[in-house]
Amino acid sequence: MRIAAFIVSGLLGILSLGLLAGGGLMLWGDAQKDDDGYISTAAERFATNTYALTTDNLDVDAAGVDWIFGPDRWGSIRIEAEPRDDEQLFVGIARTADVRDYLRGTGHELVGDISFDPFRADYREQPGDAAPELPAAQEFWAATAHGHGTQALTWEVEDGDWSVVVMNEDATTGVDADVSAGADVPFLPGAGWGSLSAGLILLGIAAGLAVLGVRASRPRAVPA
């Protein structure tokens, strides 16, 4: 009984520390949101001599966890792009299959494996000779932003395979922009406090089992 109490107490103690650390991290992340409620990356330069920059497939599969947060709790993402020249920018997000159809035969860069500390991005050139049609004239986009100056696209996250595209609005070559990405992650506060609460409960149980183990290990007094 004594040994079992110590073993279970240790396991619960380790689990509680993980929950407390995870809850603290989520609440810290929530505190980093800007005035619009987004946690964002720094703006970094993305450039290509081709017609477009597009992300690798963004695979959103919430089917397995909707029962935890609900289908409307995934929030939205924000993509901000500021041109480094006088070009008018277009930023759009659409189903990956639609983006591939739109850019098929068109030279563009596929951007993937992005890291931010330090910043690094891998570019994979997709060859092609055809010029694309004007992006803003297409009807398959789930969300877009285009025009002069900084463009901010916001999109409510949905299941599926998605790609982000940055182009010149007039569909010419030579795209050069500072781009940042953010997410509002609305479930962070609830998940953070829930993790902290669960961690504290398990820590209390672990402490109680440790006390029982200590008491059980004390030698009993032998009557004279």
What is the C-alpha R_g of the chain? 26
Higher pLDDT, 117 or 192: 117
Q: Quick one: average pLDDT of 40-64?
A: 79
Total of domains in the chain: 2
Residue type at position 167:
M
Q: Let me know whether 152 and 177 are in one domain.
A: yes
Q: Let me know whether 116 and 10 are in one domain.
A: no
pLDDT of residue 178: 94
Q: Let me know whether 15 and 70 are in one domain.
A: no
With 0-12 CB in 10 A as exposed, 13-18 as middle and 19+ as buried, what is 61?
A: exposed
pLDDT of residue 21: 76
pLDDT of residue 150: 93
Q: What is the pTM of this model?
A: 0.69
- Over 50: is that where the pLDDT of 69 sits? no
pLDDT grade, residue 215 (50/70/90)?
A: low
Q: Let me know whether 208 and 129 are in one domain.
A: no
Q: What is the DSSP letter of 149?
A: S
pLDDT grade, residue 128 (50/70/90)?
A: very high
**Do 53 and 188 contact (CB within 8 A), yes or no?**
no
Distance, in Å, from the CA atom of 142 to the CA atom of 82, rounded to the nearest integer, reads 21
What would you measure as the largest C-alpha separation in the chain, in angstroms? 102
- The fraction of the chain above a pLDDT of 70, given in percent, is 64
